[in-house]
Amino acid sequence: MPVFCLAALPAAQSARITRASTLDVMRQDYVRTARSKGILENTVRVRHIFRNSLIPVVTVAGPELANLITGSFIIENLFAIPGVGRLFVQGILARDYTLIMGGVLFYAIIMLCSTWWSIFYMRRLTRAYVMNKEITWLSK
């Protein structure tokens, strides 16, 4: 039950974004061009459709992963599961400031790492666009 409560909304959002993105990419001109060139259908699916439809999914996946982990303290308290989230909430109730600062730092690092993961994986997916001005600051 706790896993379902924690993962139901992000799974539905990911499925919706994946479907919308795939349908959008399938209508693009470069997919039609690849099919008209006689490229195998599996190659078109993997290289053109799948790879380009993953871009919005990966963009949302990083912050969503951080939300899953940081949202776990609500689920841990709701279902009385011992864990870091429950310890964090008990520290708040007991006004243990060192524990609160450590918990905030822990969750901030998780948020930062998951966002960096999505940025760098996105960069790997869109190799052709790395030289764009909006993305070049990442490589400095």
The mean pLDDT value for 96-110 works out to 91
**What pLDDT sits at residue 132?**
44
- Cα Rg, the chain, nearest whole Å: 20
Q: DSSP labels for 84-129? A: HHHHHHHHHHTT-HHHHHHHHHHHHHHHHHHHHHHHHHHHHHTGGG
Place of tokens 């969750």: 107
- pLDDT higher than 90, residue 15: yes
pLDDT tens digits, 58-95: 888 888 888 888 888 888 888 888 888 888 888 999 99
Given CA atoms 97, 98, 104, 108 in this order, what sign does their dihedral have? positive
Q: Name the 3-class secondary structure at 12.
A: helix
Q: Name the 3-class secondary structure at 131.
A: coil
* CA 7 and chain centroid, separation: 13
- pLDDT higher than 60, residue 138: no
pLDDT tens digits, 17-50: 999 999 998 888 888 888 899 889 888 888 888 8
Distances from the Cα of 12 to the Cαs of 15, 16, 29, in angstroms?
Answer: 5, 6, 29
